[in-house]
Amino acid sequence: MVDSTFLDELYEHHASCCKYPSEQRIKAFLDDLLGTIFPELTDEVYRNRAEFGLHFSNLKETFYELIYERPNFESARAENNTEIFFHSLPTIHDQLRNDATAMYRGDPAAQSVEEVMRTYPGFYAIAAFRIAHQLHLQSIKVLPRAITEIAHSKTGIDIHPGATIGSNFCIDHGTGVVIGATAHIGNNVKIYQGVTLGALSVNKKDATLKRHPTLEDHVVVYAGATILGGETVIGANSVVGGNVWLTQSVPHNSTVYYKTKMNDQSVDADILIHKISNAS
C-alpha cells in the first residue's frame, strides 16, 4: 500500500506544478499549421476563400490558447505574440519552400518538390525547426523545444530551436543528425545522416556562450562527421568527408577527409585528417 504522506506530497506537487499544453495538442497544431501553409501536406479541401479564412482564424485561436495557457503568460502578451508569429508566416513559408527546392535539386532520387515536402524527414525536421526558431526569437519558453522534439521523435533529427540556419538548407536522409543550440549555419549548406554539430563542453556554466560550430555558405558535410566547439568554423565552399572528427577551424575552399595507408592489405591504424586548400 502506498504511504499516504507520499500521496499528499504528490498531490501538492500536482497542485503547484506549472501546467503546459500536452504533446498531442502541440503536434496537432504543428501538423495543422504545416497543412495550412502547404496544401501538399493536408487532405483538407476548402470550398471557398471565406471557409479558408475561418480555418486560419481558428488556427490563430488555437495558437493563442497554447501560449496563453502557459504559466504567468498574461492575455495581452499572448495576443501580441500571436500577431507577431502569424505575421512571420510568409517569411517561414518562403524559407521552407526554398529548403524543399534545395533538397529536390540536391538529391538525384527526388522526383519533385512535392515529394520532398510530403515524404522527406529532413523537410519535416527543418519545417518544425523554422517554426520553433521563430517562437524562440519571441522568447516563448518550452513550446519551441516541444515542437523540435516532436520532429526529433518522428525523424531522428535533433535541431535545437536556438540554432541559426540560413536559406536553402538541405538535410539528406537525416537520421541521427544533431544540431546544437548555438550552431550557426550559412546559406546553401547540405548535411547528411549522422552529422553532429556539437559542443566540446557540457558545463552548465557555459550555457550563455557559443558552444557549437559555424558552417559558412556552401558547405557540405558527409555522413557521420562530428564537428565540435563554438570557435570551430568551417570556411565557405568546403567539404567535410564522412566520419571526420573536427575540433579546429577549416579554411574556405577546403576538403577534409580521413586518409588511410595500406600495408600488406591491412589498414594502418594511424588515421590522419588532411585538408586540401583550393584557392579561388
CATH code for the part of the protein at 1-156: 1.10.3130.10
Is the alpha carbon torsion for 54, 97, 112, 147 positive or negative?
A: negative
CATH 1.10.3130.10 residue window(s) in the chain: 1-156
From residue 166, how far is each of 25, 169, 190, 210, 231 by CA, in Å? Answer: 29, 7, 11, 17, 19
Q: Please give the Cα distance from 12 to 210 (Å, whole number).
A: 39
179 neighbors 148 (Cβ within 8 angstroms): no
In sequence order, what E strands does the chain have?
A: 158-159, 164-165, 170-172, 178-179, 184-185, 190-192, 196-198, 214-215, 220-221, 226-228, 233-234, 239-240, 245-246, 254-259, 262-263, 266-267, 272-277
Q: Please give the Cα distance from 104 to 80 (Å, whole number).
A: 36
At residue 198, φ and ψ (nearest 5 deg) are -120, -170
Instruction: Give the pLDDT score at 70.
Output: 67
Q: Please give the Cα distance from 202 to 212 (Å, whole number).
A: 11
Rounded to a whole number of angstroms, the CA Rg of the chain reads: 22
Instruction: Give the pLDDT score at 206.
Output: 74
Residues ≥6 apart with Cβ < 8 Å to 203 = none
Task: Per-residue pLDDT tens, the chain, 280 aa: give them.
Answer: 678 899 888 888 888 777 788 899 999 999 999 999 999 999 999 999 999 999 999 999 999 999 887 666 778 888 999 999 999 999 999 999 999 999 999 999 999 999 999 999 999 999 999 999 999 999 998 999 999 999 999 999 999 999 999 999 999 999 999 999 999 999 999 999 999 999 998 777 777 789 999 999 999 999 999 999 999 999 999 999 999 999 999 999 999 987 655 555 443 333 344 555 444 3
Pairing of strands 164-165, 233-234: unpaired
Instruction: Give the pLDDT score at 15.
Output: 81
Instruction: Give the pLDDT score at 266.
Output: 41
Q: Please give the Cα distance from 276 to 239 (Å, whole number).
A: 10
215 neighbors 221 (Cβ within 8 angstroms): yes
Q: Please give the Cα distance from 10 to 7 (Å, whole number).
A: 5
Q: Pick from 151, 147, 150, 154: which is nearest to 132 by CA?
A: 147
CATH 2.160.10.10 residue window(s) in the chain: 163-280
Q: Please give the Cα distance from 99 to 224 (Å, whole number).
A: 22
Q: Please give the Cα distance from 218 to 249 (Å, whole number).
A: 16
Q: Which CATH number fits domain 163-280: 3.40.50.2300, 3.60.150.10, 3.40.50.1820, 2.160.10.10?
A: 2.160.10.10
